């Protein structure tokens, strides 16, 4: 019985001592920060700045988590910081938050919220917000389809240097969507978009020259613009590049030809994979050639399948 009484007394004494130690050392305990120890230094400073109501820091933190700039992607955290930025009247923050609502990233998709956030961003000078707003009206998302408003917002954003807006406005002129059909105006806008690095603008120019739409047919120019778009990782352009190039060049003869063929094959143009295979075969790189023939065959390129059959037959004979 005595042992059972002593243990609680000793335990109580230990707890009291620990409490006294904690009270004495209270000033030495660091306040808990609202960030992980694994955050990069710059992220920790951005978080401090955001906590101090710096709207740009809050928006930048949203980007950090949306695109995984400092580790893994975390859409929910991105939404949290974009909300803070928008609340602090950051036009970019409102646009980015609108994008998250628009695409259902880290938050339930809600087009009505998206379009209003884009309106807020555009009103305060965020031109990407104007472009996104135009896109919503063009597709009838979050509001009734309205080509007049779409064209108006695309024009505003294009004039401010948003390349996607120039491309989409060009498309409206090419196809006469609300605006009067004007191929030359479309071409001019596609040129602007392509010059600003928009792959779709370069692709559309390539198509215009390939088909002779509003311009004289010119396979070399078509190839040039498809190459520009392909270099921007636009897969359809790489495929069209392979088709145009394939009609013009029967066999790969130069480094420039080789570069084009590699890009087109990388984006699954079967004809270019086949021609690339022939190039390697001619240069006695049989292993690389066979892999390319297999890829082309899998992509439905019949000559490659036949060629592989011929090669297998030679090993049997």
pLDDT tens for each residue of 106-131: 999 999 999 999 999 999 999 999 99
| Rounded mean pLDDT, 91-110 | 97
State how far the Cα of 187 lies from the Cα of 174, in Å rounded to an integer: 8
Enumerate helices (H) and strands (E) in the chain, giving the number of each.
17, 0
What is the CATH T-level fold of the domain 41-125, as seen in this structure?
1.25.40
State how far the Cα of 267 lies from the Cα of 276, in Å rounded to an integer: 13
% of the chain residues with pLDDT over 90? 58
Condensed to tens digits (0 to 9), the pLDDT of residues 52-78 reads: 999 999 999 999 999 998 888 999 999
Phi–psi pair at 248, nearest 5 degrees: -85, -35
State how far the Cα of 99 lies from the Cα of 155, in Å rounded to an integer: 20
State how far the Cα of 313 lies from the Cα of 317, in Å rounded to an integer: 6
Instruction: Show the tokens assigned to 156.
Output: 């505003």
pLDDT of the residue at 248: 66
Q: Given a cut of 90, is residue 222 above it in pLDDT?
A: yes
∠ CA(124), CA(129), CA(135), 5° rounding? Answer: 140
pLDDT band for 33, please (50, 70, 90 cuts).
very low
State the CB neighbour count (10 A cutoff) for residue 248.
13
Give the global pTM: 0.74
State how far the Cα of 238 lies from the Cα of 186, in Å rounded to an integer: 22
pLDDT of the residue at 259: 81
Phi-psi region at 276: left, alpha or beta (left = phi > 0; alpha = psi -120 to 50):
alpha
Mean pLDDT of the chain: 85
Phi–psi pair at 33, nearest 5 degrees: -90, 150
Give, rounded to a whole angstrom, the gap between the first and last alpha carbons of the chain: 98
State how far the Cα of 317 lies from the Cα of 312, in Å rounded to an integer: 9
pLDDT of the residue at 17: 46
Task: Domain ranges for the chain, please list them.
Answer: 41-125, 249-311
Q: Given a cut of 60, is residue 34 above it in pLDDT?
A: no
Instruction: Show the tokens assigned to 220.
Output: 């070399």
In this structure, of 158-172, 216-230, 243-257, 285-299, the range with the lowest mean pLDDT score is 243-257
pLDDT of the residue at 249: 63
The candidate with the shortest Cα–Cα distance to 218, out of 226, 208, 228, is: 208
Condensed to tens digits (0 to 9), the pLDDT of residues 234-274 reads: 888 888 887 787 676 667 878 877 887 887 888 788 888 88
Between 316 and 5, name the one with better pLDDT: 316
Contact (Cβ atoms closer than 8 angstroms) between residue 238 and residue 266: yes
């Amino acid at each position: 019985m005595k042992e059972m009484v002593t243990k609680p007394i000793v335990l109580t004494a230990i707890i009291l001592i620990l409490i006294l130690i904690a009270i004495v050392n209270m000033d030495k305990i660091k306040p808990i920060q609202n960030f992980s120890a694994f955050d990069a230094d710059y992220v920790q400073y951005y978080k401090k700045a955001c906590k101090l109501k710096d709207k740009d820091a809050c928006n930048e933190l949203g980007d950090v988590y949306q695109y995984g700039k400092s580790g893994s992607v975390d859409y929910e955290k991105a939404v949290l910081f974009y909300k803070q930025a928008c609340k602090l009247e950051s036009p970019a923050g409102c646009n980015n938050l609108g994008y998250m609502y628009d695409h259902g990233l880290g938050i339930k998709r809600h087009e009505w919220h998206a379009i209003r956030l884009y309106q807020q961003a555009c009103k305060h000078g965020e031109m990407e917000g104007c472009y996104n707003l135009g896109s919503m009206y063009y597709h009838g998302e979050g509001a009734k389809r309205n080509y007049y408003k779409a064209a108006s917002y695309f024009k505003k954003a294009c004039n401010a240097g948003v390349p996607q807006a120039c491309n989409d406005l060009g498309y409206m002129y090419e196809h006469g969507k609300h605006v009067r059909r004007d191929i030359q105006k479309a071409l001019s806008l596609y040129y602007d978009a392509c010059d600003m690095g928009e792959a779709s603008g370069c692709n559309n120019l390539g198509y215009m020259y390939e088909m002779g739409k509003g311009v004289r047919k010119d396979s070399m120019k078509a190839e040039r613009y498809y190459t520009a778009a392909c270099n921007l990782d636009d897969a359809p352009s790489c495929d069209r590049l392979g088709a145009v190039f394939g009609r013009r060049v029967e066999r790969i003869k130069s480094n420039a030809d080789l570069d084009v063929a590699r890009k087109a094959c990388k984006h699954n143009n079967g004809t270019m994979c086949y021609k690339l295979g022939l190039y390697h075969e001619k240069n006695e790189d049989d292993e690389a050639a066979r892999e390319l023939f297999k890829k082309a065959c899998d992509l439905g390129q019949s000559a490659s399948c036949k060629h592989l059959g011929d090669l297998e037959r030679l090993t049997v004979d």
